[in-house]
Amino acid sequence: MDYLFRFRSSYCWMLVIFITGQVEFGWTNVAAIGINYGQIANNLPSPDEVVPLVKSIGATKVKLYDADPRVLRSFANTGVEIMVGLGNEYMSKMQDPKQAQAWIKSNVQPYLPATKITCIFVGNEVLTFNDTSLTDNLLPAMQSVHTALQNLGLDKQVTVTTTHSLAVLEKSYPPSAGAFRPDLEPCLSPILSFQSKTGSPFLINAYPYFAYKDNPKQVPLEFVLFQPNQGVVDSSTGLHYDNMLFMQIDAVYSALASLGYNKLPVHISETGWPSKGDQDEAGATPENAKKYNGNLIKLVAQSTKKGTPMRPNSDLNIYVFALFNENMKPGPTSERNYGLFKPDGTPAYSLGLATTASPSSSSDGVSGNSSNSGVNGGAPPLPPSSSTGYLSISSATSPVSHTSTVALLFYFSFFIFFFSLILL
């Protein structure tokens, strides 16, 4: 009882903060903002108490990593769109259409239409686990789940997709040259064909934080935190980028276009910044987390900043990672500190007040996608490291040699570009 009182009291205080932030920011619509709701913790509030927290940040979409019936019941009649997940451990079983249909009958159908389940993601970053059995099972599992939805008459309201790590890219700089790893294309092409036919989005987990953490002296902090900076120009397209996340998104669009899927929408299924980390985890501070997530939410909410430089007319669909700090996640300290909220419902950092306290300060300014042009005089942003699965998002799953190769290719490409400008 005492816990519930503390939670509700702290929530009321927090709600005032976020409402104040929204009024001063002019957040008239944040329909494209989603939140990842993980539960690897033993101290989280009940799902019923989570609903007002989700609404307080203006999120209208929630991504789960399972199909927890308590959560699905709690979000009934709220209008919040729910994406449920089938973990990698289900891949083999879901190849069987009968088992896929049984799972949907038990975990999805009973909650419709009261709970607005709109998507099922089958597998998390499967293609970069270097597990051939998982890779081989992915598309058949996706197809079986979709067929089951068709048989139950649910395929028009629930789509089927999967999430990917940015490690599926062989090249990400400049964004116009984005390309998938050649070794993954035989697996990706039929998956993309399936998604194109069924109308599901391409989901990518993108973390500019990792690029900064790995190279804090080379990666401009302003560039990854959506703060004012000179930015970078893609020499092939002339498009100007003043934040790394938009570069990552457009690199994915380019990679899709290179395989003939230029109309497939890209959604960011995970992105975030930790508020605490170990000594070797540069940049993991409450201040940086506040700037990244606060500026990102503000940027998406601005009606004048609809898309990326390459896709200015495409809606931004972004799921922030994560709703709570989760105390039972393995790995470095940062893994347990991605949450916007502490388990008692209070903000992990003052996301609303921090920016409104100094609205004219350039240090908290938000960087859009088409301000001044020019090239950043400092060192370039590196290609992104990426999340590697829900249990551990900060450790690499792809081979070290591949990650190092991508980094070296990026450095080489940038410096050729940079010095060519000097010579001119």
- Residue 412: the pLDDT is 41
Give pTM, 2 decimals: 0.80
Place of tokens 């700089």: 173
What are the catalytic residues?
Answer: 125, 270
Main-chain dihedrals φ then ψ at residue 176, nearest 5 degrees: -65, -15
Cα 208 from Cα 397, distance rounded (Å): 17
Whether the Cβ atoms of residue 187 and residue 176 lie closer than 8 Å to each other? no
Would residue 73 count as lying in a domain? Answer: yes
Per-residue model confidence as pLDDT tens for the chain (424 residues)? 333 333 333 444 333 333 333 323 333 333 469 999 999 999 999 999 999 999 999 899 999 999 999 999 999 999 999 999 999 999 999 999 999 999 999 999 999 999 999 999 999 999 999 999 999 999 999 999 999 999 999 999 999 999 999 999 999 999 999 999 999 999 999 999 999 999 999 999 999 999 999 999 999 999 999 999 999 999 999 999 999 999 999 999 999 999 999 999 999 999 999 999 999 999 999 999 999 999 999 888 875 667 999 999 998 999 999 999 999 999 999 999 999 999 999 999 987 633 222 223 333 455 554 333 333 333 333 333 333 334 444 333 333 333 333 443 444 444 444 444 444 4
The pair of three-digit structure tokens given for residue 91, joined into one six-digit string: 């891949």
pLDDT at 410: 45
Domains of the chain: total = 1
In a domain, 281, yes or no: yes
Q: Is 317 a member of any domain?
A: yes
Token pair in block for residue 244: 């790394």
At residue 66, the pLDDT reads 97
Handedness of CA 259, 261, 262, 265 (dihedral sign): negative
E-assigned strands of 21-109? 33-37, 61-64, 81-86
Is residue 377 a part of any domain in this protein? no
Question: Hey, which bits of 184-314 come out as E strands?
Answer: 202-205, 232-233, 240-241, 266-271
Domain membership of residue 385 (yes or no) is no
pLDDT of residue 19: 32
Residue 221 located in a structural domain = yes
Classify residue 348: in a domain, yes or no: no
* CATH, residue 63: 3.20.20.80
C-alpha 340: how far from chain center: 14
Distances (CA, A) of 322 to 300, 373, 406: 17, 33, 27
The domain of 160 spans 34-341
Is there a domain that residue 169 lies in? yes
